[in-house]
Structure 1
C-alpha cells in the first residue's frame, strides 16, 4: 500500500462521484459495470494529478484482478455446476426428499438452521447458496413461500460462515489481520452471535408459521410424481452436494471442490440420467432446461450456465479494479485517521470501528473492510485497553456480514446471478445480516458502560 498522495478534496470528489455513479445505475436499472468504469476513469485522472503514474495505477488494477482470478473461475464453475446438478438429478432428488420429509414443518426456520449448519462446515457463503440454497429455493415454488423471503433466511444462514467458520478465507483473514488465534476469536464472536442467531431464528419461526407445509396437498404429490417419472431419484445422488461439504471440511480449496463436484456431476448425468454429451455441454455453457408434461417442473429446473455469469463477472471486475485503486493508493487512510483521532471512549471506538468497516465494505469489498480497520485501529484498541478479539468481532459483525445487503457488492451480485432474486427483494428478510451490527453495538455499549470490561 502506497503512502497517500491524494488531497482530501480529491478523495471526497472520488468517493462522492463513485456513490453517485453506482446509485444512478441502480435507479436507471443499468449495469453497475458502467458506474464502476466511470468511477475508475475519474479516480485515475485525479490520482494522476496527485502524482501517481498511469503505469502505477494500471499495475494496481492488474494486481487486484490477478488476486481475484480464483473468484472469477469459481463463479464460472458454479454457473456450470448449477446446470449439472439439475441434469444429474441432484436438485430434483433434493426436491423429492424435501417434499417427502419436510411436510408439516416450519420450512422457513428449517431452511435457516440447515443453511447455517452447512455454511459452517463448508466455510463459504457462495458454496452454501449455490448448493443447498438452490435446492431450497426450488422447494419454495412448490410450497407457495415467496422466494425472496426464503432467500433472506438462506443468506442469513450462509453468511454465518464468513464471520465464524474455521474454513472461511475471510474469517481467517480477520484473525491474521488482528494477530489472534481462532479460539480467542470464536469465544468473542459467540458473545454476539448466539443472541443474534436466536433472535433471527425466532423471527423466522413466526414468519414461517404462515408458510408451513401441508401434507395433504395434491399439487405436491403430482410434482413428486413428475420428478420420479423424469429422473432417477436415489439417496446416492445426494453424495454429490455432500462431497463438497466433506472436501471443504477436509481443507480442500473451494475451487478444487467445485471442479471435482462438477466432473462427478457430469458422470452422474451420463450414467444415472442417461444424458447425452452434447446436452451436457449445452447445459454447462448456456444453461439447463427441461421439457416435461409438468409445467411446474419445467419452471423450477432452469439455470443459465456459464454464459449467464459473464455480465456479473464484468461488474465484479469493475468493483475489484476500483477497490484496488482505493486500497493501493491509500486514498481512504487519512479519512479513517481523521475519524478515529479524537476517540476517547471504548463505546465510541466500537461504534466507529463498525461504521468504518461497513463503509469500506460498501465502497469496496469485505477484505478492505477487514484489512484497513484491522491494521489502522489496532493501536487505538491497545491504547484503550481493549482486546484485539473485540476488534475482530466488531469487523465480523459489521463489514463482513452486511456485504449481501449492498446491491453493488460482489456477494450481492453473485446471489442475484445465481438465484435471479435482486438484493432489494431479499435484503429486508436477511435478518441476521442487519441484526448483527445492531447487536454488537448494543452489546459493546452495555458492557463498557456498565461492566467496564470487554
Structure 2
C-alpha cells in the first residue's frame, strides 16, 4: 500500500510518535499503556486532518489487535499457570530445593543455562520466565544475590532458548514470513546468538566471584524453607505439571492447550495434595496466591500470578496495536522502504538499512508479531534483488525483535518480564549482554561478510546496485 501522505507528513508522524514515546515514558515516566494510547490518538488525529479515512485506520487497528490476540491469550494463560503452580506447591518446591542445591558463586551461571535448556525444550520464553524464572527470583532472595543479576540471567537464558528453539512461535514466524526453512533459520541464528550467550555466561561466572567467599544467610534460608514446609506439601507429585508441559510441547503440541493442561494439573494437585478448596483455586487463578505466610520474604516469593497480574500487560498490548495502526495506514513504513531502495547502493548498506528500520519500528510498536508480519514480506524481495539469502533477513528480524524485546519496557515481552520478575528493565538489562550483542555481531558480519549467506542468480538479473564481493 502506497502512502496517501507526502514524505514530509509521514516523517512528521514518525517524529511525533517517537517524541511522545520518549517524552512520556522516559521523561514524564507515565504508565506505558497511557503513553501509547496518547501517541496513537495524536497520530490518528493528524492522519484524519491530512485526509486518511477513519475506516482504513480502524481496519488496521483491528488487524493489529488480531495479531496480538494469541499472545494475549498466552499471557493470561501464563498468569493462571503461575497462580496454579504456586498453589499446587510446584514453584515452592523449586525454591526450597534450589536453596539446598545452588550456591551463590555459581547461581547466575546455573540459572542462565537451566533457563536456556528449558526454553529450548518448551519453545516459550514466557513459560520459562513465568514459572522457573519466578522460582529463581525466590531462590535469589534466599541466597542474597541481587535480584537484577538474577533477572538478567533468567532473561538471557530464556531469550537464547526462544531464538534457537524450533518450537518457538517467534522463530517459526520469523522464518515462515520470509519463506525460509525453519532449521536453516535456526542454524543461521547461531552466528549472532551463541557469542552473546558465551559472553553472558562468562560475565555471570565473573560476577559470581564476588560471592565465592560469601556464605548465604543460613538463618534467612532456614526461615524461607521452614515457612514453605509449613504451607505446602512438597511431595514430588508437584513436579507432574512442569514435566507434562515439557513433554507435550516437545512433541509439537500448540502452546495454549498445553498451558491449559498445565493449569488443570496444577489445580488438581492444589485440591488433592494441598487441600485447597475450589474457591481458593479459583481465587489463585484470578488473583494469584494471596494467603499471608507471616514472613515477608516468602510472601514476595509466593504472592504472585493470576489473571489480574497480567491485565496491565494486556493493556500495553492493546495500546501498542492502537499506536502502530495509524503509522501503517498513513504509509510511514512504505516511505521508509522507498528510502532504503533509493539510498542502498550495496548489499551491506541495504542490510544495514533493513536492520535499522526493523529495530526502529519494533522500538516504536513493541510487538514482533506486528513488525515481522508488516516488514517481513516487504523486505523479502530486496534480499533477492541484492543476491542475499533470505535467511539473513529472518535472522535480522529476530536480532532486532525477539532478542531486542527485553530492552524495550513498552514491548510485549519487555512489559511481561518486568511485571513477572518484578524488576524494572533499566535495572537488569545492562547485565543481559546477549540481548544487545546480537545486533553488534550482526553489524560486524554485515561489514566483514562472515556469516552472511548469498544466493547465485544470473548476472543479467543483477542490477548495478548489487555488490558481488
Pairwise TM-score range, normalised by the shorter structure: over 0.9
Coordinate RMSD, CA, aligned? 2.5
CA contact (8 A) 1:361 1:367 kept: no
- Separation in structure 2 between the aligned mates of residue 299 and residue 414 of structure 1, nearest angstrom: 18
Instruction: Give the equivalent residue in structure 2 for 1:402.
Output: 404
Q: Deviations over 1:28-52 (max 9, x none)?
A: 2321222222222222233334443
- Separation in structure 2 between the aligned mates of residue 387 and residue 333 of structure 1, nearest angstrom: 22
Structure 2 CA distance for partners of 1:161 and 1:333, relative to 1, 3 Å:
farther
CA contact (8 A) 1:178 1:374 kept: yes
Q: Deviations over 1:294-352 (max 9, x none)?
A: 44323322115222322222221110122233335532111122034222333323322
- Separation in structure 2 between the aligned mates of residue 392 and residue 65 of structure 1, nearest angstrom: 23
What are the residue-to-residue correspondences of 1:253-264 with 2, within 5 Å?
253-264=254-265
The 3-state SS of whatever aligns with 1:332 is helix
Structure 1 position 79 matched with structure 2 position 43: no
Instruction: Give the equivalent residue in structure 2 for 1:236.
Output: 237
Instruction: Give the equivalent residue in structure 2 for 1:388.
Output: 390
Structure 2 CA distance for partners of 1:81 and 1:379, relative to 1, 3 Å:
closer
Q: Deviations over 1:137-177 (max 9, x none)?
A: 11111111111121111111111244322111211121112
- Separation in structure 2 between the aligned mates of residue 376 and residue 450 of structure 1, nearest angstrom: 20
- Post-superposition offset of 1:205: 1.4
Instruction: Give the equivalent residue in structure 2 for 1:12.
Output: 11
What are the residue-to-residue correspondences of 1:193-272 with 2, within 5 Å?
193-211=193-211, 214=215, 217-272=218-273
Structure 2 CA distance for partners of 1:165 and 1:392, relative to 1, 3 Å:
same
What are the residue-to-residue correspondences of 1:47-126 with 2, within 5 Å?
47-103=47-103, 106-126=106-126
Instruction: Give the equivalent residue in structure 1 for 2:332.
Output: 331
Structure 2 CA distance for partners of 1:330 and 1:161, relative to 1, 3 Å:
farther
Structure 2 CA distance for partners of 1:280 and 1:340, relative to 1, 3 Å:
same
The 3-state SS of whatever aligns with 2:176 is helix
- Post-superposition offset of 1:75: 1.9
- Separation in structure 2 between the aligned mates of residue 448 and residue 418 of structure 1, nearest angstrom: 38
Q: Deviations over 1:82-114 (max 9, x none)?
A: 122111101110111212222365000111111
CA contact (8 A) 2:94 2:135 kept: yes
- Separation in structure 2 between the aligned mates of residue 215 and residue 62 of structure 1, nearest angstrom: 52
- Separation in structure 1 between the aligned mates of residue 96 and residue 269 of structure 2, nearest angstrom: 17
Structure 1 position 38 matched with structure 2 position 38: yes
Instruction: Give the equivalent residue in structure 2 for 1:428.
Output: 430
- Separation in structure 1 between the aligned mates of residue 2 and residue 446 of structure 2, nearest angstrom: 33
- Post-superposition offset of 1:221: 3.3
Question: How many pairs does the alignment contain?
Answer: 453
CA contact (8 A) 1:108 1:153 kept: yes
- Separation in structure 2 between the aligned mates of residue 296 and residue 49 of structure 1, nearest angstrom: 54
Structure 2 CA distance for partners of 1:188 and 1:331, relative to 1, 3 Å:
same
- Post-superposition offset of 1:215: 7.2
- Separation in structure 1 between the aligned mates of residue 387 and residue 114 of structure 2, nearest angstrom: 39
Structure 2 CA distance for partners of 1:223 and 1:49, relative to 1, 3 Å:
closer
- Separation in structure 1 between the aligned mates of residue 369 and residue 358 of structure 2, nearest angstrom: 10
- Separation in structure 2 between the aligned mates of residue 366 and residue 161 of structure 1, nearest angstrom: 17
The 3-state SS of whatever aligns with 1:232 is coil
Instruction: Give the equivalent residue in structure 2 for 1:187.
Output: 187
Structure 1 position 24 matched with structure 2 position 5: no
TM-score w.r.t. length of structure 2: 0.89
Gaps of 5+ in 2: 454-466
- Separation in structure 2 between the aligned mates of residue 9 and residue 104 of structure 1, nearest angstrom: 56
CA contact (8 A) 1:83 1:283 kept: yes
Q: Which moved more, 1:87-96 or 1:414-423?
A: 414-423
Instruction: Give the equivalent residue in structure 2 for 1:374.
Output: 376
The 3-state SS of whatever aligns with 2:410 is coil
The 3-state SS of whatever aligns with 2:262 is helix
TM-score w.r.t. length of structure 1: 0.92
The 3-state SS of whatever aligns with 2:332 is coil
- Post-superposition offset of 1:214: 4.1
Instruction: Give the equivalent residue in structure 1 for 2:462.
Output: none
Structure 1 position 165 matched with structure 2 position 193: no
Q: Which moved more, 1:57-66 or 1:127-136?
A: 57-66
Structure 2 CA distance for partners of 1:325 and 1:248, relative to 1, 3 Å:
farther
Structure 2 CA distance for partners of 1:280 and 1:6, relative to 1, 3 Å:
same
Structure 2 CA distance for partners of 1:71 and 1:187, relative to 1, 3 Å:
closer
Structure 2 CA distance for partners of 1:422 and 1:176, relative to 1, 3 Å:
same
CA contact (8 A) 1:7 1:50 kept: no
CA contact (8 A) 1:128 1:158 kept: yes
Structure 2 CA distance for partners of 1:453 and 1:435, relative to 1, 3 Å:
farther
